[in-house]
Structure 1
């Protein structure tokens, strides 16, 4: 929903960010996947305790959980936004129903339930995008040629001014840098992605999954941006069909429900629900795994598998409720720039985490206290930048990552390393061994 709305109101420049996510995969293949699989982790933040100390593990895990509660809220809000103007149900009730459904099947199915529902929902979502685009093109006078012609005349693809550097606007150079660090965070420091490296049978299966993902990322987002262009053409030709003071964040479902045949519209709205459930369930499962591994096991004395399962399920419910409450706030504030809000959240929460993993894996001299200083400096810097400057939100993740690495590295000699040299060598050897193995392959 947010991508067509972005293409409808502005242009296609954000599409470039999708390809930046593909470009970082060689880094992930070479350094991170072998490293994480060898460590045999349940939570990726276990590594931070092994490399630094428990404080860094708790910071990484709590940051991840807070970010994904925000993510759940944004996705739930978008789905509620799809129905708010068209059905006689309170938006708060819609949010409640979405939350309950996702909590139930994540509660019962675990990671296997999340993965297989993701497969089904991903197919539904992609087919729906293609179907919507085709239908809109038939309803535009002049068809598909006119859709792209009107977008071109309105300079809605990659305007020349978007190639310039800017500290405040999301121009192409800025979003390429921002998406690089955001994608790095996703693929290297985010439990919901890294847990999928771990549950595959072997490293070849992991790589095959990521390559499949890359192929889909190269194709599917184009249709979502094209849908935004088609909506622009349609409502430019038919401006009277848009209500006054319409929230453009809901432009896609508005067209689907108001202009498409009833049965088809129902299937597409089902696909939107499927997409939201896919995103929410993945976040709920990851939050539960992080809390159980990183906090509950630390506070409990050798808990049994049954106890950990019960706590994980409880956290699934709690996280879902917190996401619903936050989503309620978004509804009351009538937020429309959801894409920007999500990427701003990603930069604020993800940057310090990404920097912490980078510091631990690539800089041997770093230690727990220097890492802590790096994290504190990173959070303070990002919050100051956000409140005192007009710097574009894409820089938040860049600053957060680099400050952790620079401060953590430079201040390391001030402190005694909390790991002995053999422990650091063991962790470094894991990376070196797999790098050599990959080179031979």
Structure 2
């Protein structure tokens, strides 16, 4: 199974066009001469490119390989993850985006300083950098290794080419180049998946037959309402646990929030979030249909024993190379689809890492840094993280499975995450001679193939366990779909507990801009005693003047914010920070 000249040409065309987009934005417009232009695309992007960029960042190459393999092996139960997309995108649109956008921040972690203090901001930033540095190396290395194992495509040529091209257009073109290459790469991803589904279904007699055979073989799953959190996939873990996972990605992740903030108005940012919903459903359907077509095709055209993959993440590539081998160019299109997922995810990582480093770690210590020097330093940071990504790809080649992984609340959440992650890892290692646990989040290793951190949507592909877990093993067997919910709950509960023990935040110290406008409405439904307790001793939001966003209603502008200028966009939605200190007329909550 080897590439033809046409396949190599299509793959090369992807890299050339991606680089050309970066060069275009480096030589046009403001030419990335300001930090705002380089890191936030001058806050002038429309909802459609932002939505497609959000989608591309979400759809990594590992997910393109992993979701069809999940459906191939375990059936369509994973499809119910789509139930989580509605709330997982509606909540960010109406709770997170209004707060972040009106604060006019650049880094998500600026919010933590406004709401808490500088220590929390720095801890959040350092945690994000640590996670993303590991993540981007694995995302670059894993698909290249899988491709090398199936097609003989040179491993390090693929890694170096992708890493350098991605570094080039991210460093030269800034966020605007990243977004428009994401748009282009999203179209390539969709084209590659559609081509595989259409050709594969045609070879086995059509999609109707694919569905019928899959149903006869028990691959079409019904709704499993088992509430057991140890079950890897149930309706509850996918739909409810999936909401928390979506919130971690679309609500607070710097790479995604940065795209909201580059929209030309708050309305455009919200519309981009709405537009992602149908796009996500389409992508999920394509991945699941690919898995079903793979399954039926494999029944009729089984691989020879020598061709059987050493790991489930190679299943898709073996299927693609087999079903498309007599159609020159289509294998190259799918590989371009695969590496488009990698490029979009990695470029987002470079840009977001440069942003948080600049805004959270450099600017606070060098407040007098000129705009030109700050812009140059931002570009150098993007370049540095690009080179670091290549180094992490090399480190990934030598690693085995990688762990998944308010100050006290943050530390408690991290401790819980590492406790479960390390426990799951040790448990699976101890059972390496037997069968690993079903809820393990690690990919079976291919050589030294590393796994992706919890931010990747690749589902686990390990077989079902033989013995039932006992004691702490049950805790370690928690479904990976509940990880985000478990860790978020830990952070909130510990943070609130410490706040109650140490005393409430002084009412005068609370910036009302950092509170979501929907919170007073939610609290006003509760009895007065519970409202007072939740406010940790602060003012009752239901009794506060200007309750539920009526502060300065005659002017339509919240306290502490000045009206937008013409450049801030439509319908008075783009608030800017006022020059003076905010007027705290609305005391909403204190925790």
Pairwise TM-score range, normalised by the shorter structure: 0.7 to 0.9
Q: Secondary structure at the match of 2:251?
A: helix
Contact 1:77 1:331 in 2 (8 A): yes
Q: Which residue of 1 aligns with 2:465?
A: none
1:372 aligns with 407
- The question of whether the paired residues in 2 share the 8 Å contact of 1:235 and 1:241 is answered with no
Deviates further, 32-41 or 307-316: 307-316
Equivalent position of 1:327 in the other structure: 393
Larger RCO (CA within 8 A; separation ≥ 6): 1
1:213-243 Cα offsets, whole Å, 9 max, x none, are: 1111122310111001101111121113461
Q: Deviations over 1:354-382 (max 9, x none)?
A: xxxxxxxxxxxxxxxxx222222222233
Structure 2 Cα separation of the partners of residues 327 and 157 of structure 1: 37
- The match for 1:381 is 416
Number of paired residues?
406
Superposition RMSD in Å:
2.7
Q: Residue 517 of structure 2 is aligned with which of 424, 431, 435?
A: 431
The structural deviation recorded for 1:76 is 1.5
Q: CA deviation at 1:326?
A: 3.6
Select which of 153, 165, 171 maps to 2:233. 171
Distance 2:548 2:149 in 1: 54
| CA distance, structure 2, for counterparts of residue 19 and residue 103 of structure 1 | 36
CA deviation profile, 1:244-293 (whole Å, cap 9, x unmatched): 34322022222323431122222222222222211111111111101110
1:43 matched to 2:98: no
Contact 1:34/1:434, CA 8 A, preserved across alignment: no
Residue correspondence of structure 1 range 86-165 to structure 2 within 5 A? 86=150, 88=152, 90-140=154-204, 142-159=205-222, 162-165=224-227
Q: Does 1:313 align with 2:379?
A: yes
TM-score by length of 2: 0.64
Q: Is 1:238–2:273 an aligned residue pair?
A: no
Matches within 5 A, 1:194-213: 194-213=257-276
Q: Which residue of 2 aligns with 1:187?
A: 250
Asked if the contact 1:3/1:228 (under 8 Å) is kept, the reply is yes
- Measured after TM superposition, the shift of residue 428 of structure 1 is 5.2
Question: Gaps (5+ residues) in structure 2?
Answer: 1-64, 424-471, 519-545, 557-570, 572-591
Q: TM-score, normalised by structure 1?
A: 0.84
Instruction: Decide which structure has the larger Cα Rg and report it.
Output: 2
Unaligned runs of 5+ in 1: 336-340, 349-370
Residue 490 of structure 2 corresponds to: 403
Q: Which residue of structure 1 lines up, in the alignment, with residue 339 of structure 2?
A: 273
- The 5-angstrom pairing of residues 48-87 of structure 1 reads 48-86=112-150
CA 165–431 in structure 1, closer or farther in 2 if over 3 Å, else same: closer
The structure with more helix, counted as a fraction of residues: 1
Find the aligned partners of 2:308 and 2:396 in 1 and give their Cα distance.
21
Residue pairs, 1:416-427, within 5 angstroms:
420-427=506-513
- Supply the distance in 2 between the matched residues of 1:333 and 1:251 (Cα, whole angstroms): 22
- CA distance in structure 2 between the partners assigned to 1:424 and 1:277 by the alignment: 41
Where has structure 1 moved over 6 Å in runs of 4 or more? 432-435
Asked whether the equivalents of residues 129 and 227 of structure 1 are also in contact (C-alpha less than 8 Å), the reply is yes
Cα distance, 1:385–1:151 mapped onto 2, change above 3 Å: same
CA distance in 1, matches of 2:400, 2:287: 23
